Structure 1
Amino acid sequence: MLIYNKLVRDRIPEIIEGTGKRSSTKTLSKSEFIKELRRKSFEELEEYMNADNHEEALEELADLLEIIHALAETHGASIEKVEELRKQKAEERGGFKEKILLIDVED
């Protein structure tokens, strides 16, 4: 028996059962869910960091985006609200298109 104790996508138990295996699950409270989403975001970010090619990188970015959608909902917002905030910050501070690395700042 393999023990995972990790947040999985909604259809994973169904997919496991489809292979003839059994699994046990539990439904998390809101605070547990947020904690597990945060932990899952690190897992997916690490997988992105270790991606060997563009296709793998995009797969992991899609997983991260799914987590961002779920986190937005747990905080009472839509992904559209998050996108609105992203655009506002981009207008005020810029994005990352210029690839600028800040070395230092003198007093």
Structure 2
Amino acid sequence: MVSTFKLLRDRSKDLAAVTPTDQVKGRLYREALQQQLVQGAQNYSVATSDRKAVEELVDLLEIVHALLPAHNMTYEELEMVRRRKKEEQGGYTNGTAINFTKDV
């Protein structure tokens, strides 16, 4: 049997009260956060309203904040790296894209 973990926000008492919970640490915690990141991106991609989309973006930011210690980085340091990369390579503001065609 393979165990997978769905991380709960620290104050998610309702679900924790009716479902057995575990405390994950170390590698398992990082893997669970990575799974949450992917799930959050999927949730964002199917959001049906601006409000729901923003809620999903907030969740993604919270996950990013939780992952930073695993990379020995603070949010301020991450923001410095983001700004530097944006200066060097630009952002994603003008919608420029390359059209890739795949044989299926």
Question: What TM-score comes out, normalization by structure 2 length?
Answer: 0.83
Match of 1:24 in 2: 20
Q: Does 1:7 align with 2:7?
A: yes
Match of 1:50 in 2: 46
- Give the Å deviation of 1:7: 1.1
Match of 1:85 in 2: 81
Which of structures 1 and 2 has the larger relative contact order (alpha carbons within 8 angstroms, sep 6+)?
2
- Please give the root-mean-square deviation of Cα atoms over the aligned residues, in Å: 1.8
**How many Å separate the matches in 1 of 2:68 and 2:31?**
13
- Give the Å deviation of 1:24: 2.0
Long gaps (5+) in structure 1: none
- Counterpart of 2:79 in structure 1: which amino acid? E
* Larger Cα-atom Rg: 1
The number of residues matched between the two structures is 97
| Aligned ranges 1:27-106 → 2 under 5 Å | 27-103=23-99
**How many Å separate the matches in 2 of 1:103 and 1:5?**
37
| Contact kept in structure 1, 2:5 and 2:32, CA below 8 Å | no
Identity, in percent, stands at: 31
Residues 82-101 of structure 1, C-alpha deviations (whole Å, 9 max, x = no match): 11110000000000111111
Question: What TM-score comes out, normalization by structure 1 length?
Answer: 0.81
- Counterpart of 2:92 in structure 1: which amino acid? F
SS in structure 1 at match of 2:29: helix
- Counterpart of 1:36 in structure 2: which amino acid? A
